[in-house]
Amino acid sequence: MNLSRLIPSSLLAAGLLLAANARASDALVTFDDMPAASSGQVVDINLPHSLLVVAALATDKSDHETAELLRHLQSVRVNVVKLDATNRAEAIEHIRRVRESLKDWRKVVSVRQPNGEDVDIRMKCRADDTIEGFVITVIQPDQNAVFINVVGDLKPDQLGRIVAHFQIPGMPSLAAPKHA
């Protein structure tokens, strides 16, 4: 083995991996300081790349497209907080601040209901339309605040397949229509 070639190649590979991770981390949004209700009801799911790779391996034979998508994800984060009188105002303000911090992201869905329900979906995209990540925030004033952050390189057709597969309410279908 020629070490004089191996070392520069290894450094180049490490640099490319670091650059890819740095780019993906631009789409990472944290919701950690969300105030909990007096009941303390919180759901927090944090799937790092290593667990997503395991999920990809487990689904590869039964659903190759989903497995391929999972391999390109860096992180999936879901946070659901019960809302009550003790945290509602602060939680809604927190969501407003998070949305304001995403002003450079592409807003793809915005729904405001008279009863206070509020859905906002934003995507961080590169010039080639690759989606670096997306954030979904939902306010159900008498129930929950929901935050979802997915980080990774997704093509619009991949996102469309995931939306269709999981039937995510409020998400428009981005998949190309199937021809008979």
pLDDT tens digits, residue range 4-24?
Answer: 443 443 333 334 444 444 444
Which whole number is the average pLDDT over 157-173?
A: 61
The structure tokens listed for 168 are 């995510």
Whether pLDDT at 175 is above 50: no
Query: Does residue 73 fall inside a structural domain?
Result: yes
**Taking the model in full, what pTM does it have?**
0.74
Query: Does residue 68 fall inside a structural domain?
Result: yes
Query: Does residue 173 fall inside a structural domain?
Result: no
CA dist 32 and 12 (Å) reads 34
Query: Does residue 124 fall inside a structural domain?
Result: yes
CA dist 114 and 175 (Å) reads 30
- Give 74: exposed, middle or buried? Use CB within 10 Å, 0-12, 13-18, 19+: buried
Query: Does residue 90 fall inside a structural domain?
Result: yes
Query: Does residue 177 fall inside a structural domain?
Result: no
CA dist 107 and 135 (Å) reads 10
Counted domains in the chain? 1
What per-residue confidence (pLDDT) applies to 39?
80
Query: Does residue 158 fall inside a structural domain?
Result: yes
State the pLDDT confidence band at 150, using cuts at 50, 70 and 90: very high
**Packed helices 49-59 and 64-72: angle between N→C axes, nearest 10 degrees:** 170
Query: Does residue 178 fall inside a structural domain?
Result: no
Cβ(137)–Cβ(146) below 8 Å: yes
What per-residue confidence (pLDDT) applies to 101?
92
CA dist 76 and 71 (Å) reads 12
User: What residue numbers bound the domain in which 81 lies?
Assistant: 3-166
CA dist 139 and 120 (Å) reads 9
CA dist 165 and 150 (Å) reads 16
Say what percent of the chain tops pLDDT 90: 37
What per-residue confidence (pLDDT) applies to 128?
86
CA 161 to chain centre: 15
What per-residue confidence (pLDDT) applies to 51?
92
Q: Average per-residue pLDDT in the chain? A: 78
